[in-house]
């Protein structure tokens, strides 16, 4: 064995012996090119998954996909030796999610000095620091308070769900089919409240005054969200037909969540007998929307539309599908639509929906200019 071979073996032994996950990532396709053996010790994996370089993406929480892509975009501006951190949730061996801190720095560059590869360390974060996500002591206290309340609230929802399940299992023979359906509907509502509560807490800890807004290029937001959903879209046979999108004045993270929920909603209600096509386009509107008669006539809007050829819904219900309690032709509705409406409210805008059953739906977002 040559000296170089012995050196490579020695380096590999050191890398595999450390307690953290170490990786090299190609920034062009956002794929891991190398992961040390700790990834299989720490992260959840299905028996059929043999490629360890895919384990990180499979373990990453769906709600953190967009943040991860935004983080990688920011890493393209790193100078040599500079470090960028992010906290994300990863699914571990027992099937639960734990918080991990990831530290990235430049590993290699192209001849034109653009970043080619990043190297990173993934470490379990047992003591997350609230100061890393808050700019003031007041915000830290608010976040801690909301987290404390949320823990009790979500536990209450869990107990309600379990109680309903016990009633169904032990006394179902005494109920009519209609009563059973109502109980199942109640369980579905509890699950929706659980999801909605988590998102509301996330938004409530952010600054929602105009000082937190910035000019956000929506094309970049869409690029980031699509990268995070690529695996899910490929598996579901989904394609996106997009036109150039403008910038709007808003909150970047919330706009990412808005786009993510609208895309996930379309995927959820895809028709089984044909591929799903989602068209995304925009236009400028110089007067108020026709459905908002109380607004000033001179108000102009930037409009973003998401159109799909999915299952659609009863158009007579278009005023109700954004309600968390909606339970109609959407077979339970989507908590994501409720969140989407909240995000548009926080931007001073509006969201509408229309549909032709079995032909598709269209969701329009109106951003005031």
Q: What is the DSSP letter of 29?
A: T
Q: What is the pLDDT of residue 351?
A: 93
User: In terms of residue numbers, what domain contains 25?
Assistant: 3-128
Q: What is the DSSP letter of 170?
A: H
| Residue with token string 């807490």 | 201
| Same domain, yes or no: 34 and 46 | yes
| CA-wise closest residue to 353 among 341, 345, 369, 339 | 341
| Same domain, yes or no: 154 and 262 | no
Instruction: Say if CB 306 and CB 263 are below 8 A apart.
Output: yes
| Same domain, yes or no: 360 and 326 | yes
| Same domain, yes or no: 31 and 150 | no
CA distances from residue 240 to 27, 278, 306 in whole angstroms, order as listed: 22, 5, 10
| Same domain, yes or no: 258 and 337 | yes
| Same domain, yes or no: 104 and 197 | no
Over range 309-320, report the average pLDDT: 87
Q: Single out the residue in 156, 189, 204 at which a domain terminates.
A: 204
Q: What is the pLDDT of residues 26-83, one digit of tens each?
A: 999 898 888 888 888 888 887 655 677 888 988 998 888 888 988 999 999 998 889 9
Q: What is the pLDDT of residues 181-205, one digit of tens each?
A: 888 888 777 777 776 666 655 555 4
| Same domain, yes or no: 105 and 249 | no
| Same domain, yes or no: 83 and 24 | yes
| Same domain, yes or no: 229 and 358 | yes
Longest pairwise C-alpha distance within the chain: 81
Which helix or strand (DSSP H or E) is residue 278 part of? strand 276-285
Higher pLDDT, 338 or 281: 281
| Same domain, yes or no: 187 and 330 | no
Check whether 367 has a pLDDT greater than 60: yes
| Same domain, yes or no: 123 and 137 | no
The domain that contains 20 carries what CATH number?
Answer: 3.30.450.20
Q: What is the pLDDT of residue 177?
A: 84
The domain that contains 285 carries what CATH number?
Answer: 3.30.565.10
Over range 199-215, report the average pLDDT: 60
Question: How many domains in the chain?
Answer: 3
Q: Single out the residue in 68, 95, 128 at which a domain terminates.
A: 128
The runs of H, that is alpha helices, within 236-273 are 252-268
| Same domain, yes or no: 243 and 359 | yes
Q: What is the pLDDT of residues 67-123, one digit of tens each?
A: 898 899 999 999 888 999 999 999 988 888 888 999 999 999 999 999 999 999 998
Instruction: Say if CB 2 and CB 23 are below 8 A apart.
Output: no
Q: Single out the residue in 128, 154, 171 at which a domain terminates.
A: 128
Q: Taking the alpha carbons of 202, 219, 31, 239 in that order, is the dihedral positive or negative?
A: positive
């Amino acid at each position: 064995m040559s000296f170089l071979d012995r050196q490579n073996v020695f380096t590999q032994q050191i890398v595999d012996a450390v307690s953290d996950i170490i990786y090299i990532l190609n920034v062009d396709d956002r794929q891991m090119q190398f992961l040390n053996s700790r990834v299989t010790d720490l992260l959840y994996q299905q028996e059929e998954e043999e490629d360890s370089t895919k384990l990180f993406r499979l373990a990453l929480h769906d709600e953190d996909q967009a943040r991860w892509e935004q983080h990688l975009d920011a890493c393209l501006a790193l100078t040599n030796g500079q470090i960028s951190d992010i906290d994300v949730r990863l699914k571990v061996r027992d099937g639960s999610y734990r918080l991990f801190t990831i530290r990235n720095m430049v590993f290699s560059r192209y001849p034109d000095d653009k970043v080619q590869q990043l190297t990173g360390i993934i470490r379990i974060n047992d003591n997350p620091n609230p100061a890393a996500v808050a700019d003031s002591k007041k915000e830290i206290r608010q976040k801690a308070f909301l987290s404390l309340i949320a823990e009790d609230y979500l536990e209450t929802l869990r107990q309600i769900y379990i109680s309903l399940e016990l009633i169904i299992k032990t006394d179902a023979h005494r109920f009519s089919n209609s009563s059973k359906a109502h109980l199942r509907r109640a369980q579905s509502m509890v699950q929706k409240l659980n999801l909605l509560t988590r998102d509301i807490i996330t938004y409530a800890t952010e600054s929602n005054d105009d000082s937190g807004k910035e000019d956000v290029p929506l094309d970049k937001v869409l690029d980031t969200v699509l990268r995070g959903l690529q695996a899910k879209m490929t598996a579901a046979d989904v394609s996106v037909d997009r036109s150039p999108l403008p910038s709007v004045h808003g909150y970047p993270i919330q706009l990412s969540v808005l786009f993510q929920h609208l895309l996930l909603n379309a995927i959820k209600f895809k028709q089984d007998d044909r591929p799903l096509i989602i068209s995304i386009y925009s236009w400028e509107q110089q007067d108020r929307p026709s459905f908002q008669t109380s607004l000033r006539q001179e108000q102009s809007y930037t409009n973003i539309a998401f159109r799909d050829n999915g299952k659609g819904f009863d158009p007579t219900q278009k005023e109700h599908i954004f309600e968390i309690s909606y339970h109609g032709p959407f077979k339970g509705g989507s908590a994501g639509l409720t969140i989407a409406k909240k995000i548009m409210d926080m931007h001073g805008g509006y969201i509408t929906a229309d549909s032709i059953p079995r032909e598709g739906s269209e969701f329009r977002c109106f951003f005031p200019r």
